[in-house]
């Protein structure tokens, strides 16, 4: 305790500096509010510029939100159906599963349906497609004797991009197929 008193006593003669007083002109402007008024005016002008500028940028036709909206509302008009596709569509009773053929292959590559249901194979790729049974999952889908190949599950012609073919599975089983033109692209339909 004695050490503390000694230190305090040693610095007892040192005083904190007196607060600086404002010059009379500064004091008068602070008291009358002139400086405060100027600061408020500058703040208001700054706020108006920022808000007005933000609004103008949001209304600009080059803003990202406008550009995104324009793209999203553009309409796609498909090409007219060929005579072959009109004939397929005229015979169609609808389908329960859509298999899309893309440049990556069949999507979905495997699917399950019920006996008597129809699958529509749509060519959404940039090349031709020929759907045909392969038998790699077991047996080849049975034929009727009127087919172009070994199975009734065969489109018997190549589908151009945007064309489609439908097949109704009347026999239960696991039926593999491939694109006859690009045999690495395969799929499976399981019929219950």
Place of tokens 């219950």: 192
Q: Is the peptide bond before 135 cis (omega within 30 degrees of 0)?
A: no
Contact criterion met (CB below 8 Å) for 187 and 110? yes
Cα separation, 132 vs 157, in Å, equals 10
| Calculated CA dihedral for residues 118, 121, 122, 127, nearest 10 degrees | -170
For residue 109, CA distances in Å to 51, 76, 163 come to: 54, 27, 19
Task: Specify the length of the chain in residues.
Answer: 192
| pLDDT at residue 144, as a whole number | 77
Token pair recorded at residue 167: 């097949």
- Residue stretches of the chain with pLDDT short of 50: 63-66
Assigned token pair, 91: 């015979």
Radius of gyration of the chain (CA): 40
* Residue 25 tokens, joined: 């002109």
Q: Where are the domains of the chain?
A: 22-64, 83-191
Q: Check residue 63 and give its pLDDT.
A: 45
Q: Residue 9's pLDDT is what?
A: 55
**pLDDT attached to residue 135:** 82
The C-alpha atoms of residue 190 and residue 106 are separated, in whole angstroms, by 15
Domain 83-191 classification at class level: mainly beta
Query: Looking at the DSSP assignment, which residues form a beta bridge with residue 123?
Result: 101
What per-residue confidence (pLDDT) applies to 184?
Answer: 92
CA distance 47 to 53: 10
């Amino acid at each position: 305790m004695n050490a503390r008193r000694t230190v305090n006593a040693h610095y007892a003669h040192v005083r904190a500096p007196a607060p600086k007083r404002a010059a009379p002109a500064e004091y008068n402007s602070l008291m009358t509010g002139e400086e405060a008024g100027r600061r408020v005016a500058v703040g208001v002008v700054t706020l108006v510029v920022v808000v007005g500028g933000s609004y103008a940028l949001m209304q600009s036709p080059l803003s990202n939100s406008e550009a995104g909206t324009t793209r999203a509302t553009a309409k796609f008009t498909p090409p007219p159906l060929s005579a072959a596709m009109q004939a397929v569509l005229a015979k169609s009773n609808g389908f329960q599963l859509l298999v899309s053929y893309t440049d990556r292959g069949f999507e979905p590559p495997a699917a399950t349906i019920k006996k008597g249901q129809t699958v529509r194979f749509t060519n959404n790729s940039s090349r031709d497609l020929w759907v045909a049974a392969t038998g790699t999952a077991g047996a080849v889908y049975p034929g009727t004797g009127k087919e172009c190949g070994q199975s009734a599950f065969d489109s018997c012609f190549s589908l151009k991009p945007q064309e489609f073919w439908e097949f109704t599975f009347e026999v239960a089983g696991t039926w593999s197929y491939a694109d006859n033109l690009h045999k690495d692209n395969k799929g499976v339909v399981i019929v219950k």
